[in-house]
């Protein structure tokens, strides 16, 4: 192989650029989704005249992740404060006291760009809560987001 110094420098430069680009692409692909936001399945059922679904809002505070949860099975329940524990892989555990029974409740799942997936607890068995604007910001929603 007969390489001149300029060709060799060009090949090395191109190789370095590809390595840097590939490394930054991998780093971006591995970045977890933002754990804060609104996750909702709440909608107004025109046929029955009922508000249905659940809505969770997670925010960051100086005491960690907190937020609210609201359930609606006909009419909206009161807002309930939650504590959310989120690990490095965006697995989330949401804890609160059910206002109707005073029992402790835990919901677990994983936060992705699409929403909270594979939830368990509080009758949610495997349902997905999509990232969506709050029902209260879009009061015309007549089907789950």
Q: Tell me which long-range contacts 68-72 makes (C-beta under 8 A, separation of at least 24).
A: 69/94, 69/96, 70/42, 72/42
pLDDT at residue 29, as a whole number? 53
pLDDT at residue 5, as a whole number? 60
From residue 133, alpha-carbon distances to 38, 108, 117 in Å are 6, 21, 17
Q: What span, in angstroms and rounded, lies between the C-alpha atoms of 95 and 44?
A: 26
Q: Are strands 115-120 and 80-86 parallel, antiparallel or unpaired?
A: unpaired
pLDDT at residue 22, as a whole number? 52
pLDDT at residue 24, as a whole number? 46
pLDDT at residue 118, as a whole number? 73
Q: What are the per-10-residue average pLDDT scores of the chain (145 residues)?
A: 61 61 51 89 91 94 96 93 96 93 92 87 74 87 77
Q: Which two tokens stand for residue 45?
A: 């059922």
pLDDT at residue 100, as a whole number? 84
């Amino acid at each position: 192989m007969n390489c001149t110094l300029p060709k060799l420098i060009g090949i090395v430069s191109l190789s370095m650029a590809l390595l840097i680009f590939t490394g930054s692409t991998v780093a971006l692909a591995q970045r977890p989704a933002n754990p804060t936001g609104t996750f909702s399945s709440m909608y107004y059922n025109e046929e029955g005249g009922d508000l249905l679904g659940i809505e969770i809002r997670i925010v960051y505070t100086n005491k960690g992740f907190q937020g609210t949860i609201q359930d609606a099975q006909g009419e909206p329940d009161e807002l309930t404060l939650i504590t959310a524990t989120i690990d490095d892989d965006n697995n989330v555990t949401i804890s609160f006291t059910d206002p109707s029974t005073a029992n402790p409740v835990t919901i677990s799942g994983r936060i992705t760009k699409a929403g909270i997936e594979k939830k368990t607890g509080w009758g949610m068995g495997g349902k997905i809560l999509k990232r969506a604007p709050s029902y209260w910001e879009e009061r015309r929603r007549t089907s789950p987001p």
